Amino acid sequence: MDKKLQSINLQKVPNHIAIIMDGNGRWAKNKGMQRVFGHKNALTAVREAVAGASDIGTKFITLYAFSTENWNRPKLEVDALMTLLITSLKKELSGFQKNGIKINSIGAIEQLPKKAQKTLTEVIEATKNNTTITLTFALSYGAREEIVNAIKNISKKVVNNNLDIEKIDEKIINNHLYTFNLPDVDFMIRTSGEQRISNFLLWQMAYAELYFTDVLWPDFRKEHLFDAIIDYQNRERRFGKTSEQIETDE
């Protein structure tokens, strides 16, 4: 067994890990290659992160795969990313089935190319009964847009007298988000040294622990995930309480 894995308390692992997979472009540039080369070599990191999360018993992992802002990147890069999405999902399907990985997606999926939508829908359907871990891809995703959409949908219900304005609470809002079927994020990891959350799961990360590493995403492996989890377990999650209250609760 991995020594770092042995150092992890499997009774206190985050239930939901979110990852901002940053650094593909810099990784490729460091090797004198085009940015697309970095994206292609990021797949191993995805496999390692999911496998590591599964090893420790985490049930949900969400990857920031393509933001709403990413549509502004050069067309060549966007087209390559969409093609990579299609080929990767098809290639990895047998592995998803073998390892009990359920695929999920959040974001404005209707903005993706039709072929990408079709492949994503097919993989989601094929893996819907898997139960080991739920792997969610945030695609054409932006948290502010998600919240705006939720407000619009809730407002329509109020206007049409299908919802009493006084009944609106956190649960109602949560049920109108893309992530209505996912738990809140416990732990967010961002690679490449950047220390921002970049419009990712703003509502869902209200009480998440944040972890930033200088490792570029294509170099990310299980050992880096385990390092992050060990750091997470050395923190005190108080949720507004005092340290003394936390000790009493335990």
What are 121-130's pLDDT values in tens digits?
999 999 999 9
Contact (Cβ atoms closer than 8 angstroms) between residue 138 and residue 65: yes
Among candidate residues 22, 41, 104, 186, the one labeled active-site is: 22
* pLDDT above 60 (res 114): yes
Report the pLDDT averaged over residues 173-183. 97
Lowest mean pLDDT among 11-20, 28-37, 158-167: 28-37
CA 241/CA 220 separation, integer angstroms: 34
Assess whether 184 carries a catalytic annotation. Answer: no
pLDDT of amino acid 246: 52
Q: Is the pLDDT of residue 82 over 80?
A: yes
pLDDT in tens, 85-107: 999 999 999 999 999 999 999 99
Please report the DSSP string for 128-179 in residue order. TT--SEEEEEEEEE-HHHHHHHHHHHHHHHHHTTSS-GGG--HHHHHTTSTT
Please compute the mean of the pLDDT values over residues 4-20 and round it to a whole number.
95
Binding site listing for Mg(2+): 22, 209
pLDDT for residue 250: 56
SS3 239: coil
Which residue ranges are tagged as binding site? 22-27, 35, 39, 67-69, 71, 73, 190, 196-198, 209
DSSP string for 167-218: G--HHHHHTTSTTTTSPPPSEEEE-TT----TTSSTTTTTT-EEEE--S-GG
What is this structure's pTM? 0.92
22: annotated active-site residue: yes
Residue ranges for the binding site for substrate?
23-27, 35, 39, 67-69, 71, 73, 190, 196-198
The DSSP H or E segment spanning 86 is helix 75-98
Which residue among the candidates 15, 55, 70, 227 is catalytic per the annotation?
70
pLDDT score of 236:
76
pLDDT at 239: 52
Task: Give the per-residue pLDDT at 36.
Answer: 87
Q: What are phi and psi of 215, to 5 degrees?
A: -60, 130
- Rounded Cα–Cα distance for residues 71 and 88 (Å): 20
CATH of region 11-142+184-249: 3.40.1180.10
